[in-house]
């Protein structure tokens, strides 16, 4: 159930708030510090439907199994210190991930691009981001088909022949992509080149955005103060 | 190869952003505007290729392709890796935004180093150099991950050594894939390696 609309806030405000709080949580060296900053991520967790977020968090937390196994065995101060550190890292990982996924990742590429324009990031970089995002979706099917073809034609392939097959598949994709890139560049030049390739979407900073920033700043300051 | 959020100290995160910023600025300065589409397309191919699982012994792993990326893109590897990792963070939630700088350095710097060390030999068709480039890129990346973890917290020093050792099988696989890929490109499209 939706209990809070994050979408009403300006993308710049969302990115700024997320980085402030995530930075403070990353700096926290103790559990009380993390507890001070956990209220916002908990609210964000329940702010929208949590199904996709839980799926993402399960994926993120797959790594923590290794952390819980390795840190207690390798920590120089003993297994207890390792366990404490593993717990702290797991908490930080989840709190920061929820904050950044909800506030930044859910903005989408086009709004992130608008924020990058506002941050005066170079046009080359923004064009590169937009084109890469576009080609990821375009080439995904092609690479998936080729991978399926390798697995269908030689399901038992192992070792050297398998790596050779994958390398040739990637090489073929690179060659096709190179041709495609040349045609795309030609088409772009015919339409007037890269200038104005990425257009800024209208952004609207309102009083509620200032309030949200102030709240996140206070929260981040509290986390740092408790952690020190 | 990705370091997730929560592992690194603010100092290491800041240092990672500074290094990634410098590398990306140089990479963008050297990037010919007419080559942006090519870099974007190659970047997306590497992004997608890194999602393919390859069997390795009883388990499986995903390729990183740091060396082929470095050998094909040269200095453009920094902006290409930064963009690819940003997309992985936004679309798939791999890695994270705070650690983006450190992850970019850990993946782009080895690519750049193997480009500077091996590109001319790989172009001449030296097979051993192709394998060495693939192997070295992964081990340098693992060294970067281990260093970042150790610098963040001394308690992670032991785990950093485990991380470094765990990358050895992947380095061998990447060496083999780079070897075959460089051979294929040398025969089919040598201009891509130039």
- DSSP letter for each residue of A5-42: -GGGS-HHHHHHHHHHHHHHHHH--SHHHHHHHSHHHH
Is residue A83's pLDDT more than 50? yes
Please report residues of A whose CB lies closer than 8 A to that of B175: none
Instruction: Please give the average per-residue pLDDT across A22-42, as a whole number.
Output: 90
The number of helix segments (H) and strand segments (E) in chain A equals 9, 0
**Tokens 């100290």, residue located:** B9
The pLDDT tens digits of the residues spanning B107-146 come to 999 999 999 999 999 988 888 999 999 999 999 999 999 9
State the smallest CA–CA distance between residue B189 and chain A in angstroms.
Answer: 7
Please report residues of B whose CB lies closer than 8 A to that of A174: 42, 45, 72, 185, 189, 192
Among A100, A118, A175, A177, residue whose Cα is nearest residue B190: A175
Is residue B59's pLDDT more than 80? no
Report the C-alpha gap between B128 and B179 in whole angstroms. Answer: 8
Instruction: Please give the average per-residue pLDDT across B159-175, as a whole number.
Output: 90
Report the C-alpha gap between A7 and A138 in whole angstroms. Answer: 28
CB distance A162–B87 less than 8 Å?
Answer: no
ipTM attached to this prediction = 0.89
CATH number at residue B60: 1.10.1760.20
Q: Is residue B165 part of a domain?
A: yes
Model pLDDT, residue A200: 65
Please report residues of A whose CB lies closer than 8 A to that of B5: 22, 26, 92-93, 96-97, 100
Report the C-alpha gap between A176 and A194 in whole angstroms. Answer: 22
The least confident of A103-112, A158-167, B36-45, B141-150 is A158-167
**A1 band by pLDDT with thresholds 50, 70 and 90:** very low
CB contacts under 8 A, B 83-102 vs A, are 83-84, 86-87, 89-91, 93, 96-98
**A91 band by pLDDT with thresholds 50, 70 and 90:** very high
pTM for the model: 0.90
CB distance B185–A174 less than 8 Å?
Answer: yes
Q: Is residue B166 part of a domain?
A: yes
Instruction: Please give the average per-residue pLDDT across A120-136, as a whole number.
Output: 89
Number of inter-chain CB pairs under 8 A, A vs B: 225
**Tokens 């100092």, residue located:** B11
Q: Is residue B132 part of a domain?
A: yes
Quote the number of domains for chain B.
Answer: 1
Mutation target to probe the B interface, by most B beta carbons within 10 A, among A174, A183, A193, A197 is A174
Please report residues of B whose CB lies closer than 8 A to that of A147: 52
Task: Supply the range of the domain harboring residue B140.
Answer: 10-193
Chain B touched by A117 (CB under 8 Å): no
Model pLDDT, residue B114: 95
Q: Is residue B163 part of a domain?
A: yes
Instruction: Give the side-chain half-sphere CA count within 13 A for B70.
Output: 32
**A220 band by pLDDT with thresholds 50, 70 and 90:** very high
Is residue A169's pLDDT more than 70? yes
**A198 band by pLDDT with thresholds 50, 70 and 90:** low
Instruction: Please give the average per-residue pLDDT across A83-102, as a whole number.
Output: 92
3-state percent breakdown (helix, strand, coil) of chain B, nearest 5: 80, 5, 15
Instruction: Work out the mean pLDDT of chain A and round it to a whole number.
Output: 86
Q: Is residue B2 part of a domain?
A: no
Q: Is residue B3 part of a domain?
A: no
Q: Is residue B5 part of a domain?
A: no
Q: Is residue B157 part of a domain?
A: yes
Is residue B95's pLDDT more than 50? yes
Among A173, A119, A227, residue whose Cα is nearest residue B46: A173
Chain B touched by A54 (CB under 8 Å): no
């Amino acid at each position: 159930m939706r209990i809070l609309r994050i979408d009403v806030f300006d993308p710049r405000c969302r990115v700024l708030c997320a980085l402030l709080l995530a930075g403070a949580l990353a700096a926290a060296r103790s559990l009380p510090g993390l507890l001070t900053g956990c209220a916002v991520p908990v609210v964000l967790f329940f702010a929208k439907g949590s199904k996709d977020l839980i799926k993402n968090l399960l994926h993120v937390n797959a790594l923590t199994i290794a952390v819980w196994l390795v840190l207690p065995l390798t920590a120089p101060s003993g297994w207890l210190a390792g366990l404490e550190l593993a717990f702290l890292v797991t908490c930080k990982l989840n709190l920061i991930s929820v904050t950044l996924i909800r506030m930044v990742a859910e903005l989408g590429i086009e709004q992130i691009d608008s924020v990058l324009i506002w941050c005066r990031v170079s046009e080359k970089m923004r064009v590169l981001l937009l084109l890469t995002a576009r080609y990821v979706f375009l080439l995904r099917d092609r690479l998936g088909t080729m991978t399926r073809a390798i697995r269908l034609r030689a399901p038992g392939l192992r070792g050297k022949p398998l790596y050779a097959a994958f390398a040739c598949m990637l090489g073929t994709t690179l060659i096709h992509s190179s041709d495609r890139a040349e045609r795309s560049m030609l088409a772009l030049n015919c339409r007037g080149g890269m200038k104005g390739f990425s257009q800024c979407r209208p952004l609207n900073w309102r009083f509620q955005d200032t309030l949200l920033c102030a709240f996140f700043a206070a929260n981040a300051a509290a986390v740092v103060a408790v952690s020190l | 190869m990705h370091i997730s959020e929560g592992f690194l100290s603010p100092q290491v995160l800041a240092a990672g952003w500074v290094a990634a910023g410098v590398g990306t600025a140089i990479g963008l300065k050297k990037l010919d505007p007419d080559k942006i589409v090519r870099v974007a397309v190659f970047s997306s191919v590497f992004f997608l290729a890194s999602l393919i699982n390859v069997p390795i012994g009883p388990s499986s792993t995903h390729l990183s392709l740091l060396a082929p990326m470095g050998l094909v893109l040269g200095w453009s590897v920094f902006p290409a890796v930064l963009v690819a990792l940003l997309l992985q963070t936004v679309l798939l939630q791999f890695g994270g935004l705070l650690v983006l700088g450190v992850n970019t350095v850990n993946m782009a710097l080895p690519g750049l180093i193997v480009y500077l060390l091996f590109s001319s030999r790989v172009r001449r068709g030296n097979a051993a150099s192709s394998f060495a480039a693939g192997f070295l890129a992964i081990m340098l990346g693992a060294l970067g991950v281990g260093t970042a973890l150790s610098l963040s917290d001394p308690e992670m020093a032991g785990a950093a050594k485990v991380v470094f050792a765990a990358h050895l099988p992947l380095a061998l696989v990447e060496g083999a894939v780079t070897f075959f890929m460089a051979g294929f490109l040398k025969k089919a499209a040598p201009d891509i390696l130039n």
